[in-house]
Amino acid sequence: MAVNQNISENSSDRNTAETTALSAPEPQLSGPGRIAEYVKTLPDNPGVYRMIDDKGSVLYVGKAKSLVKRVSAYKSYNRHPIRIQRMIRATNRMEFVTTSSEAEALLLEATLIKRLKPRYNILLRDDKSFPYILVRKNHPAGQIRKHRGARKIKGDYYGPFASAGAVNRTLDTLQRAFRLRTCSDSVYDARTRPCMLHQIKRCAAPCTGEISIEDYNKLIDEASDFLNGRSNDLRKSLQGQMQIASQGLKFEKAAEIRDRLQALAKVSTHSDTNPQSFQEGDVLALHMSGGQSCIQAFFFRAGQNWGTRAFFPRHSKDDSPEHILDSFLAQFYLHNPIPRQIFVSHDLPSHDLIELALSERSGRKIKISKPQRGEKIRLIENALKNAEDALARKRAETASQVKLLKGVAETFDLEAPPDRIEVYDNSHIQGTNAIGAFIVAGPDGFNKRDYRTFNIKDVDTEPGDDYAMMREVFRRRFSRLMKDDSLIWPDLILIDGGKGQLSAVTETLKDIGALGRVPLVSIAKGPDRNAGREVFFMNNRPSFMMPPRDPVLFYLQRLRDEAHRFAIGTHVSRRKKQMKTNPLDGIIGIGAKRKRELLAHFGSAKGVKSASRDDLARVEGISEKLAEIIYDYFNTE
């Protein structure tokens, strides 16, 4: 589909083929008056529109079969609910993109909603990637492993799986049934005898020739058949092989095939979670209560349940379950694999359009249906029950969280419970690999997508100077907040540290003009670093402690510990990465081959570093000129 999706939030001044040319409305107009001006120039074509406020924030993204008819509806201001009236009043300008079909408009709308996150749209908030099983094909002996992220490795990908646990269970089955290797290439190349996995019949050990590469690749093909849903044909083939081995008195071979059949039977046996009437499909059921909703997703591939996941989309209280599920499907399948069948719990307002758009995107016929009887309706009922239970747990957790945030507001004399708390911490070892970090928490718990780290770059910062590190982090973070109105400010800042850290942050925010916009609190560990005896520091208020068993104190400790965990984890990752860096990598003219020759000759990078010019020149492939460069690299100040 030829849709130009290279659209930025400031794209109204672009004159692309898809962007409708509009005459600029009068500057003083806003709301219904401004929308009416746009309607005069809109075409009777499908497309996508954006409603934007006076600060440049996108309020709403919508699609239309006819832009002029859809946008004209906003002129009837009094016919809309109060929430939509608010959106119309706030609209300062609009942007439009025409498409060749309504299906293209649907996909573009979903793309923009996921990227821009408008406040008046139904929004899929859980954007975590799904894990897959990867059968690598870029090695003579294929490797099977868990994979998450971009599909850059050559091989076959199977999924999605709802969780890492679901992947691990399937991998365990595949190891038992097909005995494929899971080791890395470096481990594979270094093996001189079979590993423990071969001893316990989990790997065929192609690394040491226990099985030929040709026979091993047959196992790869059989595993692919199983993951593609051809398990019945595979089972019949294995049963035939077992019978032939038995008749030929190859009882050990027959027993091996028998064990593989038993492993397959464990996941193929009829149960309430494995469907019998279809091989590939997703079950999506929505439960709504108290203005909140949960969509429970069951993923079925190869006739097996590959896990479940609960989603909690953001929407207004007056949105209907049908429209929520409708919007969810368009956003969810924008970047996730689309199964041949999708079973839903509600009738979709845009059923035919979504079915057409998903079919065009996947390149095959996709069917969306609401089951009425049989096995499929039982799966829907099971998913609905799971959605109801998940939403009940979510609401209980949210109620507890809201109560804690009210306690935080009372403790620190805030005007209202905070929606966004940022907690800052530093991590380093004697000044090396220094990083600053902050985590974000709110009514929905930890918002891990908003976590950020800062590499300490200031050359004037003395190694280990926590105050200077904190100054740099806050200067960079809040200078950006001051410049970009689209970024969200925190309602409360917690600093892992004492009075000195608070003073450093206060001084930095004062210098950039941000002091006073956000309450600052530093948390100092108590005597002997005992949890429960923390001291809290705030500007213009004496330091204080909280009762040891106060639930709010436990909550603040949890926030601080999460920031500490995140900062240390990032620091450790950087340190491990640095440790893996070879000192020879920075020398110009030293490639992989010469590096191997040097390390083989001197035994280590340390030996190369201490070698003389003459010793270096004796290494094969190292000229006198290159020996001079290597020597100078390590010995010149």
CA 494 to CA 544: how far, in whole Å? 15
Strand 421-429 relative to strand 492-496, pairing = parallel
366-370, 451-455, 532-536, 576-580: range with lowest mean pLDDT: 576-580
Q: Is the pLDDT of residue 182 over 70?
A: yes
What are 137-158's pLDDT values in tens digits?
Answer: 888 888 888 888 777 888 888 8
Element containing residue 167 per DSSP (H, E): helix 164-178
Q: What pLDDT, on a 0 to 100 scale, did the predictor assign at position 608?
A: 85
Q: Is the pLDDT of residue 25 over 60?
A: no
Q: In degrees rounded to 5, what are phi and psi of residue 368?
A: -110, 125
Contact 625, 619 (CB under 8 A): no
Kindly tell me the sign of the dihedral angle through the C-alpha atoms of 146, 152, 158, 164: positive
Q: Is the pLDDT of residue 200 over 60?
A: yes
b/e burial code for range 526-545 (CB count within 10 A of at least 16 → b): eeeeeeeebbbbeeeeeeee
81-90, long-range: CB < 8 A, 24+ apart: 81/318, 83/120, 83/316, 83/318, 84/120, 87/51, 87/59, 87/60, 87/120, 88/31, 88/32, 88/35, 88/51, 89/30, 89/31, 90/31, 90/53, 90/54, 90/59
Cα–Cα distances in angstroms (integers) from residue 431 to residues 320, 465, 522, in the given order: 55, 7, 22
CATH number of 281-392: 3.30.420.340
Q: What pLDDT, on a 0 to 100 scale, did the predictor assign at position 407?
A: 94
Q: What pLDDT, on a 0 to 100 scale, did the predictor assign at position 636?
A: 63
Q: What pLDDT, on a 0 to 100 scale, did the predictor assign at position 76?
A: 84
Q: Is the pLDDT of residue 21 over 50?
A: no
421-578 is a CATH 3.30.2130.10 domain: no
Determine whether 513 is exposed, middle or buried from the number of CB atoms within 10 Å of its CB (0-12, 13-18, 19+): exposed
Q: Is the pLDDT of residue 14 over 70?
A: no
251-260, 296-305, 347-356, 609-618: range with lowest mean pLDDT: 251-260
User: Which residue type, as a one-letter code, is found at position 56?
Assistant: G
Q: Is the pLDDT of residue 161 over 90?
A: no
Tell me the pLDDT band of 18, cut-offs 50, 70 and 90: very low
Strands of the sheet containing 304-311, edge to edge, are: 304-311, 292-301, 281-289, 341-344, 367-369
Tell me the pLDDT band of 431, cut-offs 50, 70 and 90: low
Structure tokens at 231: 């398990």
Q: Is the pLDDT of residue 80 over 90?
A: no
Average pLDDT of the chain?
84
**Of 470, 429, 477, nearest to 452 (Cα)?**
477
Q: What pLDDT, on a 0 to 100 scale, did the predictor assign at position 109?
A: 93
Q: How many CB atoms lie within 10 A of CB 99?
A: 24
What are 388-403's pLDDT values in tens digits?
Answer: 998 988 888 888 888 9
Percent of the chain surpassing pLDDT 90: 36
Q: Is the pLDDT of residue 296 over 50?
A: yes
Q: What pLDDT, on a 0 to 100 scale, did the predictor assign at position 610?
A: 84
Tell me the mean pLDDT in the region 308-334: 90
Q: Is the pLDDT of residue 577 over 80?
A: no
Q: Is the pLDDT of residue 420 over 70?
A: yes
CATH code 3.40.1440.10 region(s) in the chain: 11-116
CA 454 to CA 435: how far, in whole Å? 5
Q: What pLDDT, on a 0 to 100 scale, did the predictor assign at position 318?
A: 85
3-state secondary structure of 125: coil
Kindly tell me the sign of the dihedral angle through the C-alpha atoms of 448, 449, 450, 453: positive
Partners of residue 98 on adjacent β-strands: 47
Contact 104, 26 (CB under 8 A): no
Q: Which residue has the higher pLDDT, 406 or 588?
A: 406
Contact 530, 499 (CB under 8 A): no
CA 181 to CA 145: how far, in whole Å? 9
172-176, 232-236, 497-501: range with lowest mean pLDDT: 232-236
3-state secondary structure of 274: coil
Cα–Cα distances in angstroms (integers) from residue 251 to residues 236, 241, 248, 255, 257, in the given order: 19, 12, 8, 6, 10
CA 15 to CA 339: how far, in whole Å? 38
What are 454-472's pLDDT values in tens digits?
Answer: 988 776 777 778 899 999 9
What are 30-78's pLDDT values in tens digits?
Answer: 688 889 889 998 999 999 999 998 888 899 999 999 999 999 999 888 8
CA 226 to CA 360: how far, in whole Å? 28
CA 424 to CA 474: how far, in whole Å? 9
Q: Which residue has the higher pLDDT, 162 or 478?
A: 478
Q: Is the pLDDT of residue 2 over 50?
A: no
Category of 275 on φ-ψ map: left (φ > 0), alpha (ψ -120 to 50) or beta:
beta
CATH code 3.30.420.340 region(s) in the chain: 281-392, 421-578
Q: What pLDDT, on a 0 to 100 scale, did the predictor assign at position 17?
A: 34
3-state secondary structure of 518: coil
Domain 11-116: give its CATH architecture: 3-Layer(aba) Sandwich (3.40)
Per this entry, what is the length of the chain?
637
Structure tokens at 571: 């620091």
3-state secondary structure of 257: helix
**Of 176, 339, 343, 348, nearest to 265 (Cα)?**
176
- pTM to 2 decimal places: 0.65
Tell me the mean pLDDT in the region 587-591: 78
CATH fold for the domain made of 583-635: DNA polymerase; domain 1 (1.10.150)
Tell me the pLDDT band of 105, cut-offs 50, 70 and 90: very high
Cα–Cα distances in angstroms (integers) from residue 473 to residues 480, 495, 509, 581, in the given order: 11, 12, 11, 27
Q: How many CB atoms lie within 10 A of CB 372?
A: 8
Q: Is the pLDDT of residue 7 over 50?
A: no
Tell me the pLDDT band of 132, cut-offs 50, 70 and 90: confident
